[in-house]
Chain A
Amino acid sequence: MKKELPKVYWILLSTQLVYWGLFYLFMNNFS
């Protein structure tokens, strides 16, 4: 079993931060 996180998993994880950040901006920009 691979214990090390390959690159794509890190990209997916960091994408979540990007999504949350974008949602935050989106929400604050229009309300």
Chain B
Amino acid sequence: MELIDWAIMSLTLLFIIVYGVWKNNSHKNIEDYIRGGNKATWFTVGLSVMATQASAITFLSTPGQAFNDGMGFVQFYFGLPFAMIIICLFFLPVYHKLKVFTAYEFLEKRFDLKTRTLTAALFLVQRGLAAGITIYAPAIILSVVLGWNLKLLVVVIGLLVVFYTLIGGTQAVNVTQKQQMIIIFSGMVAAFIFIVKALPENLSFSNALHVAGLNGKLNVLDFSIDPNSRYTFWSGITGGLFLALSYFGTDQSQVQRYLSGKSLAESQRGLIMNGFLKIPMQFFILLTGVLVFVFFQFEKAPLHFNPYASEKIKTTEGSEQFEALEVANDIIHQEKQKQLQKEDFFSNKASQKKYLQLENQAQINRAEAKKIMEVNQPQIESNDKDYVFIYFILNYLPQGLIGLLLAVILSAAMSSSASEINALSATTVVDLYQRFHNTENEKHYVWAGKGFTLLWGIIAIAFALVGNLFENLIQLVNIIGSLFYGTILGIFLIAIFLKSIRANAVFYAALLTEIIVLIIYSQEWVSFLWLNVIGAVTCVIIAQLFQRIIK
């Protein structure tokens, strides 16, 4: 990384933070601090909602996902636009009418205090853990590939986020997210253009896609009903719908974004904007990953994309085997070129078949290399999916663009964790602190909000510092989410759609559902993606039964 990259990265991040704080540092009351004084236009709401969901892992992991498994992951978002419509029609009008600060506040008005407190507590546990991972996940990857100190990086990212979130509250989060999204979009577009340009000159864009297609990377749609395929059209519009409903409809880190809208209509438009843009955005990020795959068909790819893991393995007993595989893949690469460079490659079936056999062998070797790593250095993550895109960025992008792309990744990390810390603080103040500590002094709650922002920031940083105790982070965030999300969604669905069900029935149904979900998870009966659907449906059914018994 050169000086110019450092300069671009630091100046971009610094400008965003200083601007965010400078514009928003006076808060008369808690409404200003938590709902940003209800000044946000639909465009700000939309960008803020998108920036909150797009974490650094979205940009590091998703291209790697496409590199390995193709573009089928986009189907996971197919339920999202439907969820946006349901939230706009049924959730948002209720929140707006009751003028709530948090989603959980609505539950006390609809049910009782204990249901509100339970739901807020579930959110705090789940989001409190996730906030640490949001910082840790990109930090570990960047520290490995750039040789930065992991703990220092975690603390720096964490403190920067706490700094502007604490001083500026929701409005600073919204304003910074707008800038961050601009950086993210322009960085990704620039990277995309560069990758296309970096492909061999005699390879047209259409032929590049044919290479990807030959390798099965462009299988966007999968209509199979095989329960073992994780991302299918059907799981997308069912599981994906429930997940999006939970996340956007009941998770305060998202709810707080659109509650800051100027009016009901502005908030709705913001969510609809997300409904329009999310799928093309994910498609575009996945396509970037697929093009990186095509790029490495013509350029020699490393056997393993995590440079640290590859270096370490050479100091273990697995060294010889690993190096032999490296040599084998180099030879395969040369052989592949002979086929790919043939003038009639795209019409020559025999040539294509030969190429695919070679590529298949290269993949087998890569899988074998991972096994060698698992045996010889079990403490290091052998999955290199998260390292593919950053490897490409650092080794092939021109100076300057590397700095911009690192700013993209750090911006994404900061925008997500700012929303999380901001929402954790709001929920703690409104649903717990304010509920049990009454004062007329509005300023007092603003200070409490700042205090809890600091506290949650410190908890997130502390958790991120011990993040190396957990493997496979993106999975972990999703699992934590799925364990609680279903129950929380169930409570909200009952609150909004089943008016006859009362407080006690829903409260005990929620507790029982949570126990059932935890049992199902511990017994590994279904993939964690389905826990969310199971939780929501179970909660609704049990609450119905309880309500009948109570009658």
- CB-based contact A30/B209 at 8 Å: yes
CA distance A27 to B70 in the complex (A): 11
Given A2-B89, A12-B84, A30-B209, the answer on whether A19 and B218 have CB atoms closer than 8 Å is: no
Please choose the segment from B275-283, B320-328, B397-405, B453-461 that sits at the chain A interface, where 4 or more of its residues have CB less than 8 A away.
B275-283
Give the residues in chain B near A3, CB-CB below 8 Å: 89
- CB-based contact A1/B93 at 8 Å: yes
* Contact residues of B between 169 and 221, Cβ < 8 Å to A: 206, 209-210, 212-214, 216, 218-221
Contact pick for B88, options A9, A13, A19, CB 8 Å: A9
Give the residues in chain A near B219, CB-CB below 8 Å: 27, 31
Give the residues in chain A near B94, CB-CB below 8 Å: 1
- CB-based contact A30/B218 at 8 Å: yes
Give the residues in chain A near B214, CB-CB below 8 Å: 31
Decide yes or no whether B481 CB sits under 8 A from chain A.
Answer: no
CA distance A27 to B71 in the complex (A): 10
B94 nearest in chain A by CB position? A1
Contact pick for A13, options B85, B89, B283, CB 8 Å: B85
CA distance A15 to B275 in the complex (A): 10
B279 nearest in chain A by CB position? A19
Contact pick for A26, options B216, B220, B275, B276, CB 8 Å: B220
Give the residues in chain B near A2, CB-CB below 8 Å: 89, 93
* Contact residues of B between 73 and 87, Cβ < 8 Å to A: 74, 78, 81-82, 84-85
* Contact residues of B between 336 and 388, Cβ < 8 Å to A: none
Query: DSSP class of A's interface residues: helix, strand, loop or mixed?
Result: helix
Given A27-B221, A30-B218, the answer on whether A12 and B78 have CB atoms closer than 8 Å is: no
Give the residues in chain B near A13, CB-CB below 8 Å: 81-82, 85
Decide yes or no whether B139 CB sits under 8 A from chain A.
Answer: no
Give the residues in chain A near B280, CB-CB below 8 Å: 19
B74 nearest in chain A by CB position? A23
B214 nearest in chain A by CB position? A31
Give the residues in chain A near B212, CB-CB below 8 Å: 30
B86 nearest in chain A by CB position? A9
B283 nearest in chain A by CB position? A23
Quote the shortest CB–CB distance from A23 to chain B (angstroms).
4
A3 nearest in chain B by CB position? B89
Q: Which of A13, A16, A30 has the most CB of B within 10 A?
A: A30
- CB-based contact B93/A30 at 8 Å: no
Q: Which residues of B contact A (CB under 8 A)?
A: 74, 78, 81-82, 84-85, 88-90, 93-94, 206, 209-210, 212-214, 216, 218-221, 269, 272, 275-276, 279-280, 283
Q: Which residues of A contact B (CB under 8 A)?
A: 1-3, 5, 8-9, 12-13, 15-16, 19-20, 23-24, 26-27, 30-31
Could you list 18 A-B pairs, sorted by A, with CB under 8 Å?
A1-B93, A5-B89, A8-B272, A9-B85, A9-B88, A9-B272, A12-B81, A12-B275, A15-B81, A15-B276, A20-B221, A23-B74, A23-B283, A27-B218, A27-B219, A27-B220, A30-B209, A31-B213
